[in-house]
Amino acid sequence: MKNSITKISLFILIGVIIFGCNTTKRVPNGKSLLTKNDIIVDGKKNKVEDVFNQLYQKQNTSLLGYRLRLNIYNLAKQKTDSIYKAKFTKNPSKYNRKVKWLSKKQVNRLGQSFWYSGIHDFLRKTGEAPVILDTSSTKKSLRRLKSYYYSRGYFDVTANYKIDSIGKKKVKLKYEIVKGKPYIIDSIESFISSKPLDSIYQLRKKNSLIRTGQRLKYSDFDSETARITESFRNNGAFRFQQNYVRYDIDTLTKKHLANVDLIIENETVRVEDSLYNVPFQLYKISKVNIYTDHNPANQNAAINDSTTYKDFTLYSVDKLKYRPKSLTDGIFVTKGNYFSDFKTTLTSKYLSNLKVFNYPLIQYIQDEKDKNGLIANIYLTPRKKYTFGFSADFTHSNIQDFGISGNTFLGIRNIFNGAETFEIGFRGNIGASKDLANPNNNFFNISEIGVDAKLNFPRIFFPFKTDKIIPKSMIPYTTISAGYSKQTNIGLDKQNFTSSLVYNWTPKKGTSLRLDLLNVQFVKNINPSNYFNVYRSSFNALNDLADIYNTNTNYIDTNTGKLKIDSGTNGFLNDVLGTTPIVTPSANDLKIIRSIGEQKTRLTEDNLIFAASLTFSKTSQKDLGDNNFYAFKGKIESAGNWISLLAEASQLTQNGSQTAFGVEFSQYIKTEFEFIKHWDLTRKKILATKAFVGIAIPYGNSNSVPFSRSYFAGGTNDIRAWQSYNLGPGKTGSVQDFNEANMKLLFSTEFRFGIFQQLNGAFFVDAGNIWNVNDIVTNPDAIFSGLKSLENIAVGSGFGFRYDFNFFVIRIDLGFKTYNPANPENEKWLKEMRFDKSVLNIGINYPF
């Protein structure tokens, strides 16, 4: 009863704070607060953002209908300096008392402190001043609204406004727009004085963005001007600019019909003090010069080395350090071809992607020997050949009480004189843990070392030419990488070796392809007997069951009363799961023990993976500010096929399975699909959705997928109502430390909205789960068996706050388990929608 009274009192207090605020507190007498703008177009309310953006005055922002920032602003006291002084004017004795233990200067400065002045400055800056109705701004808004529709072909548009009083010092504005009948393009004629340009226009006329029968819109004419300019400048019209395009629109001959004349005059040329009109000429590239070590600070440095390669001339102040072909492969401005802005941009992009030069400078000058020729000068400023970095950190975790880690890397550009880049990094960690056996009494008894190397080629690195399949305009590059790491007294003391050969290219803007021709990973567990020391949840679950069923006292540690690690745990597992079981637990407990044994086997076995994969990505997002786009990514991966053929030919087997280098290699097929869609709902409101489907099927040499290639559910960028690895598989509610499986479904939806300034909010719903399919797992609760298994899709919902620093976003999300498939039948829905059962997620940037 006492708790109920406390909660009711809290709700009443919050209600008084929210609804008791006076929004007109700072509105002067005789003035009115603008609370709402309604725009009625042809009798219907219009909420299009572009239309509302025409208004000079907009009402104060609100959050779910509550004017939060206005009320924050109203909390601030005005003229805090005068209030502080008046405080002592009314009570001189108080001022004298303060002066006795503070100087006069300090007392005066106290009025500028945060408590007296700063807090109110903060409230004013954080809040939002009341929007006072200004009729002059209203009239400007009306003119802009008329202009908005006029530019869209509604030349007969009419508009007026009305001010409605809705309370003391409160008004709302209603703008009423009648568009009238639009003007339609009836005919289009072109008058282009220069014959070369007219030929280009007529050839591409079918791509025109203005057509007969369309409503006349000024924006279409702007787009058409840009299209014509781009078409001309990509086909030799070096001197052409947008301002040469103009339109003569006749709307008087026929009512609500427009006759459009496209007019492009000849080029205007100044000779001394006279202006002449001459036809535009199409320019071809007569020569291409490449300055390979240009220094902007010393542009007149003498050239000491040069060479000519396939119509390109390369110059260098010092000795030429690049193989000519490595540079000319990425230069699409070539001798004999017409000048093209597109090829200029593509050349700049290719050369920048080499990561050997700063952004290139490409200039064109007219060839004095050829009146229709251009000399292209490409200036390349090299970056430093060597880069070196080092970092160190002190760490603490549940594995080590104290640790020191360090990273160092070396980068070498143009390592083989072909614009290649090489990077190598070393990392290491030493730590101390009092939980580990330490017979030599060493302070540092934990260590990890690793090395990673990567070599990039700015081309497809292959025995034969691939230009006809993947042309250089797709900016291809090849990455060869290798890495090794070793742990001591960490987990299972893994040794990990990785190596890969990867090709990347971009067929067109927004589309990319990645081919992992070879991806090798070898994981060796040096200390598998430490498994149950690492995975304590699995050990505790197994130990609790051993207390019920174990009959062998040799399995128990007399000091702790628990199963011995590793002999006791292995003995009990063998008694239950061995070929001749001597312990018979209940059906449900047998599921748990079998699950623990299966995961122990999978996580302690050595893994050898020879995989190849192809990834396709496509997005319609134009830039980072585009919030109305889609993105798709598909991937297919296959492992163990070609190595299986070699093993079969060599008759290399072990325990009935094929091996390579003495290790049973993995064999599986894996595919993934991800689709993301964003809708811009205007006014900083965005609806974002994500769908993910992934499955990996083991076959041949494997009966399960390696842990590193499996799926998990939960976490900051996944189903946020569960922590990472804590959900699934299926409805098992597994007691394992890391729950994973070989199939996953995920669906997420977020509604994002602005709160104030850089602070944004979001409501979200996540749904999904993981399951086992065609692998070693036998628990039916974990296996996907068809559409009926979809009833085990977990649902999480919640809300979050995001602060945008422009270059990254700090995100805090609170997730609640809305539907938990692991709970009993009548407790699945909404039983854990409580703060004590919620999951706090802290992340960088948006989840999708």
Note the pLDDT of residue 87: 58
Check residue 394 and give its pLDDT. 80
- In the DSSP assignment, the letter for residue 27 is P
Which position has the token pair 């070796």?
A: 497
- Tens of pLDDT, residue by residue over 289-347, are 999 999 998 888 899 999 999 999 999 999 999 999 999 999 999 999 999 999 999 99
Kindly state the tokens that stand for 132: 């006072």
User: pLDDT at position 606, please?
Assistant: 86
Query: Percent of the chain having pLDDT more than 90?
Result: 57
pLDDT band for 12, please (50, 70, 90 cuts): very low
Specify the pLDDT at position 98.
60
Residue 199 pLDDT grade (very low, low, confident, very high; cuts 50, 70, 90)? very high
Which has the closest alpha carbon to 836: 817, 813, 812? 817
Kindly give the residue spans of alpha helices, DSSP state H, lying in 301-382.
Answer: 324-328, 341-353
Residue 9 has pLDDT above 80, yes or no: no
pLDDT of residue 97: 62
Please state the pTM of the whole predicted model.
0.82
Query: What local confidence, expressed as pLDDT, does residue 634 receive?
Result: 97
Alpha helix ranges (H) inside 269-321: none
Q: What is the mean pLDDT of residues 632-658?
A: 77
Cα dihedral 435, 440, 444, 448 in deg (nearest 10): -90
**pLDDT beyond 70 at 107:** no
Give the model's confidence band at 654: pLDDT under 50 very low, under 70 low, under 90 confident, else very high.
low
Span 192-212, average pLDDT: 95
pLDDT band at 100 (very low <50, low <70, confident <90, very high): low
SS3 label, residue 702? coil
> What integer pLDDT is reported at residue 11 of this predicted model?
47
Q: In angstroms, rounded to a whole number, what is the distance separating the alpha carbons of residues 245 and 230?
A: 12
| Rg of the chain (C-alpha set) | 36
Q: What is the mean pLDDT of residues 113-119?
A: 61
Q: What's the pLDDT score for residue 124?
A: 77
Q: Mind listing the pLDDT tens digit for each residue in 762-804?
A: 999 999 999 999 988 888 899 999 899 999 999 999 999 999 9
| Dist. CA 733–CA 534, nearest whole Å | 20
* Comparison of pLDDT for 755 and 315, the residue scoring more: 315
Total number of residues shown for the chain: 848
Tally the C-alpha atoms within 13 A of residue 741's C-alpha that lie toward its C-beta: 30
Supply the pLDDT for residue 778.
83
pLDDT for 738 equals 83
Of the candidates 580, 546, 575, which has an alpha carbon nearest to the alpha carbon of residue 563? 546
1 pLDDT more than 50 = no
Chain mean pLDDT for the chain: 87
- Which helix (H) or strand (E) segment holds residue 650: the answer is helix 641-650
How do residues 494-504 score in pLDDT, each as one tens digit? 899 999 999 99
pLDDT in tens, 70-93: 888 888 777 655 555 555 555 666
Taking the C-alpha atoms of residue 487 and residue 490, their distance in angstroms, rounded to an integer, is 6
**pLDDT digits 0-9 by tens, 540-549:** 999 999 999 8
- CA 650, CA 776: separation in Å to the nearest integer? 27
Flag whether pLDDT at 7 surpasses 50.
no
pLDDT at residue 711 greater than cutoff 90? yes
> Poorest-confidence range of 286-290, 401-405, 711-715, 844-848?
401-405
Of 27-36, 276-285, 468-477, minimum mean pLDDT range? 27-36
Whether the predicted pLDDT of 401 surpasses 80? no
DSSP 750: E
More confident of the two residues 717 and 537: 717
- Which of 21-35, 425-439, 590-604, 807-821 is predicted least confidently? 425-439
Q: What pLDDT score does 771 carry?
A: 96
In terms of Cα–Cα distance, which of 728, 731, 793 is closest to 766? 793
Cis omega before residue 729 (within 30°)? yes
Please provide the DSSP assignment of 804-843 as one string.
E-SS-EEEEEEEEEEE-TTS-GGGSEEEE-SGGG-EEEEE
Say if residue 111's pLDDT is above 60.
Answer: no
Percent of the chain with pLDDT over 70: 89
